[in-house]
A and B are shown apart, each in its own frame.
Chain A
């Protein structure tokens, strides 16, 4: 049984912490599988909807999943179906990849770079005051509150808040690149 299977098995007992760890293990493969749908749907919405549906499934005692990394494979199917369904609902079928295009294999447990998190934090800490405040607030609370609300808390207009984040992002990217890390390569 893989680590992903073990986490999902514990999550099926209603353990939210196990489900959180399971999500942390499968989020990247699910997200990367949606790259080919990016022209037609918002990947972020699809990933969140997929994970919520997996929580419902985890709590359904009558559903069983079998095989290696079964929960991940099932979630990848949910994400693909949601993406196609959403694109059709919004009339964007022409932007979808062909139905018979094979799924791209994504490793369930992508290699991690233990140094990377530390380097990202170092680069963020070097930012000037306002870009630092905007980026830090966005990264820690952006999932729960709108940019307008976050901007208000910092005494900024939404536009200024976003400008500070763009500036911060450029500076962090330059800092990472000086250390041999490309923005496209960062995840874990």
Chain B
């Protein structure tokens, strides 16, 4: 896998957008399943930095806003 391919794979799982499966579980995005364990550790750091940027731009992280949407029934 090239560095460019790796970056795109990680970026595809960095947002806070998550689907719900048939049992009602919040599930990882498809890209997550394609990652090696070491790449998932990199993803962890990328998600951390992304949530920080979201807080700077919107006042709340994408995680908090995603949970609020689910509480509101969206």
Residues of A within 8 A of B (CB): 16, 19-20, 23-24, 27, 31, 34-35, 38-45, 47-49, 51-52, 55, 95, 116-117, 120-121, 124, 135-136, 138-140, 142-147, 159, 162-163, 165-166, 169, 172, 183-184, 186-188
Please tell me if the beta carbons of B52 and A166 are within 8 angstroms of each other in the complex. no
Q: List 10 extra interface pairs beyond A116-B56, A143-B66, CB under 8 A.
A: A16-B68, A39-B41, A42-B43, A47-B63, A52-B67, A52-B71, A117-B56, A143-B69, A184-B45, A188-B52
Contacts of B52 in A (CB 8 A): 116, 120, 186-188
Of A47, A117, A144, A186, which one neighbours B49 at CB under 8 angstroms? A186
The CA of A64 and the CA of B45, in the complex, are separated in Å by 34
Contacts of B48 in A (CB 8 A): 31, 187
Interface SS majority for chain B: helix
The CA of A180 and the CA of B54, in the complex, are separated in Å by 20
Instruction: Write the nearest CB–CB distance from B68 to chain A, whole angstroms.
Output: 6
Please tell me if the beta carbons of B53 and A124 are within 8 angstroms of each other in the complex. yes
Contacts of B63 in A (CB 8 A): 23, 27, 31, 44, 47-48, 51, 143
Please tell me if the beta carbons of B7 and A48 are within 8 angstroms of each other in the complex. no
